[in-house]
Structure 1
Amino acid sequence: MSETESYPELGQVVQILQGREAGQFAIVIEKVDSRFVLLADGDRRKYDRPKKKNIQHITFTRFVSPEVQRSLLETGRVTNGKLRYAINKFVEEHLTDLKKGDQLDGERRCN
């Protein structure tokens, strides 16, 4: 497994697996060290008060927000609105894919 596959990028959407926020999506806003990242969603978890999370307690998605990543790399910060926008964009695309997948699975079972 390469470094990029085993460690999330800045601006990458992740799903939290453990803890009080399990099941929710957040965005990587900083890499702390080889085991921890800082996560924020712009809503309950603002940029100013990110959650430090062990990377073993999150699952990575393939979605990296170019807007969030660019903002973090250029200015070192990102607005909460941009975080909310990126997560909403991901959820809309992801849920659409899931519905299509569920429909296809259902058709296969009927045959």
Structure 2
Amino acid sequence: MDKSVPQIGQIAKVLRGRDPGEYAVIIGIVDTRFVLLADGDKRKFDSPKKKNLNHLQIQNAISSEVESSIRETGRVTNAKLRFAIAHFVDRLRVEAQEKGE
């Protein structure tokens, strides 16, 4: 598991909890152990999920739209969160097809 420092706008895969296998975007960093996640759908920006980093698989993808929006205005639209996750999942699917899985 990658123990690098999580960043705002980074995609994370939930490993444990109510939504295992779901993807969400890191919209806040609480401390060295916890981050705030939202997916724009079940978990809106205004009520993010506080999640232990040990229960997440941090992905290498960072959504620049989400990151810059939070940096500039302190918030991001739920539509942008949904778009960032959909874009990431589509890219994963294309990469898997190219590998012939």
TM-score, shorter chain, exceeding 0.5 = yes
Residue 54, structure 1, aligned to residue 52, structure 2: yes
Calculate percent identity across the aligned residue pairs: 48
What corresponds to 1:68 in structure 2?
A: 66
Deviations 1:75-104 (A, max 9, x none): 110000000010011010111111222x1x
Runs of 4+ residues over 4 Å off in structure 1: none
SS in 2 for 1:7: coil
Given that 1:41 and 1:87 are in contact with CA atoms closer than 8 Å, whether structure 2 keeps it comes out as yes
Task: Please report the TM-score for the alignment, with normalisation by the length of structure 2.
Answer: 0.94
SS in 2 for 1:73: helix
1 CA distance for matches of 2:92 and 2:53?
Answer: 21
Aligned residue type for 1:64: I
Q: Which ranges of structure 2 fall in alignment gaps of 5 or more residues?
A: none
Q: CA deviation at 1:16?
A: 0.3
What corresponds to 1:95 in structure 2?
A: 93
Structure with higher Rg: it is: 1
Given that 1:7 and 1:55 are in contact with CA atoms closer than 8 Å, whether structure 2 keeps it comes out as no
- Aligned pair count? 100
Task: Please report the TM-score for the alignment, with normalisation by the length of structure 1.
Answer: 0.86
SS in 1 for 2:17: coil
1 CA distance for matches of 2:97 and 2:50?
Answer: 32
2 CA distance for matches of 1:16 and 1:91?
Answer: 14
More helix by share: 1
CA RMSD of aligned residues (A): 1.4
1 CA distance for matches of 2:17 and 2:97?
Answer: 27
